[in-house]
Structure 1
Amino acid sequence: MQQPPAITPETADWTFVITEGCAECGFSPQEVTSTGERLRATIPTWRAALARDDASARPVPTVWSPVEYACHVRDTCRIFRERLELMLREDDPVFANWDQDATAVEEDYFHQAPAEVADQLAAEAEATAAAFDAVRADQWERPGRRSNGSVFTVDTFAVYFLHDIEHHVHDVTR
């Protein structure tokens, strides 16, 4: 199968959304009250996007297709759930680097089956929603940090994660 054109790697540091929100997708951090509930609410939108006839088509050659975005969201749910569990288990852990662009190529997101990805994304989103739902009141200020030094609490980590998911919903529905 033919490989699609390469996507320009993401270089932005999106941590600003934790306090400022995102003008591009309309995300407001002040409105985040339940990460699990809002994550679950995205599942029907992902299923609808992946059921479209053009789910595997890129809108332009260098922008991910809905199935590629969904693969990224599926994997983001898994990675962030693992990181959340690490923050709850260890004191101030440092997260291993995750190169999302390399993963997209290595896992061949472009050629994955939309219906299978829809089921996988739903399962990962549900598991991650349950993990955030299970965070106790006394755990929301536990710290963790990315390999680049960005520091999070469970609370800010939840906001950062939710923006990523909702931003990509915006990407496939505009």
Structure 2
Amino acid sequence: MSDLTPGSDRPPQPTPPRSTPLQPTPPDRTAPDTKDWTWIRSRRCDECGFDPGEITRGALPELMRSTGERFAAVLLQPGSADRPEPSVWSPIEYGRHTADVCHVMTGRLRLILESGGEATFENWDGEAAAVTNEYWRAGAEDAANLVRQRSSSAAQAWSRVDSGQWDLVGVRGDGVRFTVWGLGLYLAHELVHHLYDVER
């Protein structure tokens, strides 16, 4: 999933060095996800079962952390580098994408808090990032560690949000506005939905 608007595919900080390639040449490019997922902040996702109405502010950080742990465990299973179809990401590729999403969204949270609610986000294209950063080259252990670390960092960041900061706003490049709470729900759904993608 991406921002659905063209722009930089850079996370706020560089991703770690890649491990040894698991295959000699890049796989097929996947079809871009053109859905607008911003509605997930207020409605249940029938695909993965994520329901924002059942999540509290106090429970949000633990949901991020525990889902990241489950995701990491899946990536350490045999076959995690294999694509189920040529145009569908492997679990490892999903893991690298999800780790980068955690990194980007945590950076956006920081921008909102530092600006006092006047932040504008740099656009980020998840599909372009997958190609540029060659997610397919990642090893299972590296990808698992990255998901675990970045979901934990996101959980820590949201756990430190004060009661008066949840309604502070940041604006995406396409004009969509996110409160701190809405951004956290958006990230939590990314974690839950992509875990569903790799477990099914």
Tell me the TM-score normalized by structure 2.
0.84
The size of the alignment, in residue pairs, is 174
Equivalences for residues 62-73 of structure 1 within 5 A? 62-73=87-98
Structure 1 distance, partners of 2:104, 2:149, is 14
Task: Return the offset for 1:42.
Answer: 1.1
Task: Return the offset for 1:48.
Answer: 2.0
Please name the residue that 1:47 is paired with: 72
Task: Return the offset for 1:53.
Answer: 1.3
More helix, by proportion: 1
- The correspondence for 2:164, drawn from 126, 129, 138, is 138
Please name the residue that 2:186 is paired with: 160
Q: Secondary structure at the match of 2:120?
A: coil
Deviations 1:47-73 (A, max 9, x none): 221111110001111111100000011
Equivalences for residues 7-156 of structure 1 within 5 A? 7-33=30-56, 34-90=59-115, 91-156=117-182
Task: Return the offset for 1:44.
Answer: 2.9
Tell me the TM-score normalized by structure 1.
0.97
Q: Secondary structure at the match of 2:47?
A: coil
* Identity value in percent: 36
Structure 1: which 5+ residue stretches go unaligned? none
